[in-house]
Copies of this chain bind each other. A is one copy, B any other.
């Protein structure tokens, strides 16, 4: 017998592909099952229902981001350098894992994402503590513009996500220098 073909993993991965490529609409459970090489009923042994599958997939993806962007990160580096590091890493993550990026996008622009966002806001401490910490510190040191945190976030991440989307959809092609220049431009937007 070959290595156990972990069914849960197969399902997650099939769901990621299909949701990312076709949207939530274009990915009925039967198709996910087929792509995962699994009976339709089997999915329900691992996920209570469709919604749970969608949300658990989101959780798993979100958790892969932080370790990725933190690679090579130094708390000791100057503020600007840290900003640029996290920004470029994040953009590279999106580009390197286009399916995950597309999925995260789908999720965020859906009732799931909005509910999720609202919950996160209420539980005052947002996730992505890395960014949160960085921005808090930047505000304290007055290296960032005097704007609400939420707006600073959007100034930094809005373009980043937009650019990643255009790249992933093949509307533009980002190379390494362009990534850096883009993040530097984001820095110009937030720096005082």
Binding site for B on A (CB under 8 A): 23, 25-26, 105-106, 109-111, 114, 117-118, 121, 145, 147-148, 150-151, 154-155, 157-163, 166, 169, 171-172, 178, 181-182, 185-186, 188-191
**A123 → chain B closest CB, angstroms:** 14
**A145 → chain B closest CB, angstroms:** 6
How many copies make up the complex?
A: 2
Q: Bound state CA distance, A38 and B160, in angstroms?
A: 44
Contact A162 B171, beta carbon cutoff 8 Å: no
Q: Bound state CA distance, A109 and B117, in angstroms?
A: 17
Contact A151 B172, beta carbon cutoff 8 Å: yes
13 contacts between A and B (CB under 8 A): A23-B110, A117-B171, A145-B185, A147-B181, A147-B182, A147-B185, A148-B178, A150-B171, A150-B172, A151-B159, A155-B163, A185-B190, A188-B189
